[in-house]
Amino acid sequence: MSDLKKIRDEFISKLKGKLTLAELNQIKSDLFGKNGLVSSQFKKIGTIDASERKKFASDLNIIKDELHDLIILKINEIEKANINEKLEKEKIDVTLPERSFVRGKIHPVSQTIDEISSIFSEIGFSVEEGPDVENEYNNFTALNTPDNHPARDMHDTFYLDEKKKRLLRTHTSPVQIRTMLKDKPPFKIIAPGRTYRSDSDQTHSPMFHQVEGLHIDKNINMGHLKGCLNYFIKEFFEVKKIKMRFRPSHFPFTEPSAEVDIGYEIKDGKIIIGEGDQWLEILGCGMVHPNVLKNVKVDPAKFQGYAFGIGIDRLAMLKYGINDLRAFFDCDYRWLNHFGFDPLDVPTNYRGLSR
Ligand code: DAH
């Protein structure tokens, strides 16, 4: 039997057996690799007697094609079988019921901050932010609150070090200072954010939210303050008329200072804002104290203006009929589902909330 026939018969019988992909690749290289059996036969062609060379070459080519085709066929068969096996294993059962999913809600405080920001932005206020961890200077001293001033105790401050230099801000007013230190007047900003005081009951939580307002320019007076707050309250509560009163008060950073009450009444167990003869305190405000302006290098002889601080949680409770402040921060999903807002209800200036 010729060498060629031997090679052919041996490998045809090998290829008929059950082979893995690796074994097939091995056979392929045994035959057709650089020093493979078939490749070596090709190298022999030149040494063969001229009378037999043509037949040898032709036989060799036939055997080469036959073995090669058989190997490719086998490889394809195995690959196909592998794919089928995988498809079988990963079969998707389209009859399975879909998994239930929970849609997130916007927290009423976030919704209220968005509403407040959009109302003030309509009349030219921009939004500023400051850190929750403040220094004592921005939170008190620069705001004209000297070391021994009772306001420092009044605020029940959470101090973060023994020297009482770092603290959790007790109000959003330090953002006034940060804003005026980094820019030149005029200023027209609001600053919503978290604030902290050591206080907890049905209407107080150790962490709560305020929005600060500040408007400083060359000719700003209390009339502007009244006009601005009147506009805001009407827009916020979506009423045409609002009863409002300014009660003289005291804050170290304003002079004169006032607290603002709005009129309300209870009708059929519901609170109606803007009418009636009951009063509800909702914010503190005043004309910025000249000392505060001096502390941030703004000349009080040239610039003056007003500031205000509003409790956001309080406003949200009033507008959305929520009667326990603590529920805001309980993280009870059922509560949020009930009082929360659909993302699509959000005003267009909505800037994002981690969801
Ligand atoms: N910071 C004050 C507080 O937390 C609120 C406040 C009152 C802010 C008067 C002001 C203001 O800017 O002018 O009670």
Question: Hey, what amino acid is at 280?
Answer: L
Q: Kindly state whether residue 281 falls inside one of the protein's structural domains.
A: yes
Q: Kindly state whether residue 34 falls inside one of the protein's structural domains.
A: yes
The answer on 116 and 18 residing in a single domain is no
Q: Kindly state whether residue 96 falls inside one of the protein's structural domains.
A: no
The answer on 144 and 54 residing in a single domain is no
Q: What angle do CA 37, 38, 41 make, to 5 degrees?
A: 90
Q: 171, 179, 229, 260: which to mutate for ligand 1, most atoms within 8 A of CB? A: 171
Confidence of residue 350 (pLDDT cuts 50, 70, 90): very low
Read off the pLDDT of residues 9-68 as tens digits, 9 standing for 90 and up: 898 888 888 888 889 899 999 988 888 888 888 888 888 888 888 888 898 899 999 999
Which residue has the CA at smallest separation from atom 12 of ligand 1? 308
% the chain with pLDDT above 90: 56
- What's the average model confidence in pLDDT over 149-162? 80
Q: For tokens 């190997």, what's the residue?
A: 71
The two three-digit tokens of residue 234, written as one number: 């009407």
The answer on 282 and 145 residing in a single domain is yes
140 lines ligand 1 (CB under 6 A): no
208 lines ligand 1 (CB under 6 A): no
Q: What is the distance between the alpha carbons of residues 313 and 329, in angstroms, rounded to a whole number?
A: 11
Question: Cα of 103 to ligand 1 centre, how many Å?
Answer: 37
Question: Cα of 147 to ligand 1 centre, how many Å?
Answer: 18
End-of-domain residue from the set 30, 56, 89: 89
Which residue has the CA at smallest separation from atom 6 of ligand 1? 309
Identify the pLDDT of residue 351. 39
Identify the pLDDT of residue 139. 96
Q: Kindly state whether residue 189 falls inside one of the protein's structural domains.
A: yes
The answer on 191 and 281 residing in a single domain is yes
The answer on 41 and 119 residing in a single domain is no
The two three-digit tokens of residue 44, written as one number: 């022999």
Q: What is the DSSP string of 200-250?
A: -BTTB-SEEEEEEEEEEETT--HHHHHHHHHHHHHHHHT-S---EEEEEEE
286 lines ligand 1 (CB under 6 A): yes
Question: Cα of 12 to ligand 1 centre, how many Å?
Answer: 94
Of 139, 99, 18, 113, which is closest to residue 341 (Cα–Cα)? 113
Question: Cα of 243 to ligand 1 centre, how many Å?
Answer: 21
The answer on 138 and 26 residing in a single domain is no
Identify the pLDDT of residue 345. 61
| 9: number of Cβ within 10 Å | 12
Helical H runs in the chain? 3-16, 21-32, 37-44, 50-89, 108-122, 136-139, 151-154, 174-182, 222-237, 290-295, 312-320, 333-339
The answer on 131 and 81 residing in a single domain is no
The answer on 239 and 319 residing in a single domain is yes
Q: Which letter does DSSP use for residue 150 in this model? A: T
The ligand 1 atom at the shortest distance from the C-alpha of residue 288 is 13
Q: What is the distance between the alpha carbons of residues 232 and 249, in angstroms, rounded to a whole number?
A: 21
How many residues in the chain? 355
Q: Kindly state whether residue 355 falls inside one of the protein's structural domains.
A: no
Average of per-residue pLDDT values in the chain: 90
% the chain with pLDDT above 70: 95
Identify the pLDDT of residue 119. 96
Identify the pLDDT of residue 80. 92
The answer on 306 and 162 residing in a single domain is yes
Read off the pLDDT of residues 117-148 as tens digits, 9 standing for 90 and up: 999 999 999 999 999 999 999 999 999 998 88
Read off the pLDDT of residues 223-271 as tens digits, 9 standing for 90 and up: 999 999 999 999 999 999 999 999 999 999 999 999 999 999 988 888 8
The answer on 23 and 51 residing in a single domain is yes
The answer on 178 and 123 residing in a single domain is yes
315 lines ligand 1 (CB under 6 A): no
Q: Kindly state whether residue 271 falls inside one of the protein's structural domains.
A: yes
Which residue has the CA at smallest separation from atom 9 of ligand 1? 285
Confidence of residue 335 (pLDDT cuts 50, 70, 90): very high
Identify the pLDDT of residue 154. 60
Identify the pLDDT of residue 355. 30
Confidence of residue 155 (pLDDT cuts 50, 70, 90): low
Q: Kindly state whether residue 101 falls inside one of the protein's structural domains.
A: no
- 188: CATH: 3.30.930.10
What's the whole-model pTM score? Answer: 0.71
Identify the pLDDT of residue 201. 78
Which residue has the CA at smallest separation from atom 8 of ligand 1? 309
117 lines ligand 1 (CB under 6 A): no
The partner residues of 279 in beta bridges, in order of sequence, read: 263
The answer on 180 and 70 residing in a single domain is no
251 lines ligand 1 (CB under 6 A): yes
Q: Kindly state whether residue 47 falls inside one of the protein's structural domains.
A: yes
157 lines ligand 1 (CB under 6 A): no
* The total number of structural domains that make up the chain: 2
Read off the pLDDT of residues 16-25 as tens digits, 9 standing for 90 and up: 888 888 898 9
Look up the domain containing 283 and give its range: 108-334
Report whether 169 contacts 132 (CB < 8 A): yes
Which residue has the CA at smallest separation from atom 5 of ligand 1? 309
Confidence of residue 316 (pLDDT cuts 50, 70, 90): very high
